[in-house]
Amino acid sequence: MRFAAAEATVRSERSLEPAAVMRAVTSQPAVIQGPVGPLEAAIDLATDTPVAVAVICHPHPLHQGTMQNKVATTLSRAFAHLGAASVRFNFRGVGASAGSYGDGVGERDDARAVVDWSRERWPGAPVYLGGFSFGAATALAIAARAEPQGLVTVAPPVARLPQDFSPPRCRWLLVHGGADEVVPMEPVVAWAKALERPPEIQVLEGVGHYFHGQLRALTEAVTAFFGPELRA
């Protein structure tokens, strides 16, 4: 598997986003105390009075996954455009975050710590959770316990879910490329449809794992699903 191509730092994505959600997004550095030390983070904002907070998890740390991944950043910016404070962060051992790779278990602990921090930083604001690839599996794994208002998972490798996995009870959007060459779409969709409370599933035909040239479609999917409740 080649993950490196997915990790180009996002340049300006403004030209890829629908005009309806165009706002200037600023990014502020942050440091969050994690289970094994400080976690490097960035807060994406398009308003001084966010109506919600979104926590976004990045792809696999051992395959150059960072909070600068273009798909994770697109998710974050989509929530920021909808009025949320979006928190991207580096898992343990990535960038300036303390620690070393935790085989998925430690990363789930990191994500829970960031959710807790976000709730303290913006008390009363509804929390949304999301991620891409490894980060999608991480977000999905903690969702039942973290109890977010909403969840978005992009190309989740569901084989990485823990044995004691409990499906989320919140509104959930699953986005998958129909031509995903890393996490095949068919078994993920079949698994999701078999759940007692399946997610909203959007398969983007012809789109590969890394969403090359297709970030607009991802932004539009997130905006259409979460926009009505956040804009209300």
Q: What is the pTM of this model?
A: 0.90
What is the pLDDT tens value at each position of the chain, 232 positions in all?
333 333 333 333 333 444 344 579 999 999 999 999 999 999 999 999 999 999 999 999 999 999 999 999 999 999 999 999 999 999 999 999 999 999 999 999 999 999 999 999 999 999 999 999 999 999 999 999 999 999 999 999 999 999 999 999 999 999 999 999 999 999 999 999 999 999 999 999 999 999 999 999 999 999 999 999 998 7
* Distance in angstroms (rounded) separating the CA atoms of residues 8 and 27: 17
67 Rama class: left (phi>0) / alpha (psi -120 to 50) / beta: alpha
Total of domains in the chain: 1
Query: What is the domain range of residue 147?
Result: 4-231
Residue type, 201: I
Residue type, 95: G
Report the residue count for the chain: 232
Domain CATH code at residue 16? 3.40.50.1820
